[in-house]
Chains A and B, each alone.
Chain A
Amino acid sequence: MSDATTTGSPAPAGPAEELLCPGHAACPGCVEPLTVRHVLGVLGPDTMAVIPPSCMAIIAGPQPFSSLRIPVYQPTLESSAAAASGLRRALDARGERDTQVIVLAGDGGTYDIGLQCLSSAAERNENILYFCLDNEGYMNTGGQKSSSTPHFASTGSTPAGKTARKKNLAEIVAAHGVPYVATASVGHLADLRRKVAKARAIRGFRLLTLLIPCLDGWGLRDDGALAAARHAVECGAFPLFEIEDGCRYTINQPRPTRPVAEYLALQRRYRHLTAEQTRVLQAEVDEGWARLERRAA
């Protein structure tokens, strides 16, 4: 898939061997396994994954099966970055310094309950590559709000719409001064693969937030996840950018080309919105984009 809207060098080709096998337990139409398949395709087999309770833990498969051809350690929900740190240090002590230690966590395990140890691992600049598979809520438990759930979105625990805005994880982590933070989406695949390859070549703490539109949690058509992923970027609600060393910002897409309303219209979680709430969301996205442009200037 060519992707003319993103900047940067072409994505490297993936290995012949697929590291995510068919037969996994994801919901039909979910783009999370598609995303992880490309992530692992870029990283290659010398990779170990820490996967806390999340959709990805289900996709990885129940014992004795595994959909992943790499070692997996499943920690407690709140401890992924700490577990990955311990794993990293053990491999270093054994001389296995080139093995990539990655985290494949959801937004609940990252923005909420896992943020404390995530901050600590970032502060220590642990040599781990952390992927937040961000579907903007606790979708594996039936769709409750997390601190990644956007303003006004309806969830199982915010049926009338969330009253608070989405937490800015990328900037929180970047404020630790870590070498690499980026956002990416499977809807912009070349950009995603380039960023994974770039992160792979950097030592130290790296975080990629990957937007995963959730069919059930967001109320999308069964074939609507990729379109939602592209709309999220094109309207500016989920901008694609990189932050290097906590200060050097690069925006990886053109200015928003769609009104936010077109993105909202794809999703049942926004069906209750008033015209005024839609206007407020558009203003918030505009404000976020303007701030991002100032930082990248």
Chain B
Amino acid sequence: MTTRAEFLGSIRREMDKTRGLFEARSASRPADAGGAFEAVRRQMAERWPQALECFREEFERVAGVFHRVARLDEVPGVILRIAEERQAKTVLSWHPEALGLDLRGSLGPEGLSVTVAPDGDPDAATRQRHRDEAARAEIGVTGVDWALAETGTLVLVSGRGRPRSTSLLPATHVAVFDRERLLESLEQVGIMLEALHTDPARSMSGAVINFITGPSRTADIELTLTRGVHGPKEVHAIFVEGR
């Protein structure tokens, strides 16, 4: 078996042989990740309305369905309509702490079965139970860490109470976000990610960050665009105007 030292040693030997390479630098990063993060937040506090318009346009271009409500307590009504139109009965949601909304009280009485993700450090049995429920659920409801206007992308960071499969296994994904989540460009996302990884105060706990740009799709058979091959067939984004 090759060891790390052997592997890197042979690379170094070859690197020593290279001559006259052109000068190249990788992308220049923000010197102060935390400061750059706050600067983006300040910019977006001003510019979010334009970003929202752009997000909507791009999101719809990738077959996303955009909804807009005035207040958070109108969100369950939108989810209920989506469920009714699809004759869906089972809803899976992030933990209320992570979503900012407990759907059990509002959707339960309407005849929907609502499962919320476990909080805390779930044991093996709890994890298995949640996985079985996720595999059965028809609608998955998540929050959003960043809504990227340039490409109509939802960025979701996994973690406590925020399982990665909520936006993956159910055939319909519904994401809820507000103005504070909006970003304009991939470059800004880069700044946020630098801060997320370097600043202990903003450090992430989960293992996965997903950039979601529309529903699951394929064109592998005769280049015919088909949606919902493995992941969701539909993605809905609900924008909440107020708090």
Partners in one complex: no
List B residues at the A interface (Cβ < 8 Å): none
- A binding-site residues for B, Cβ under 8 Å: none
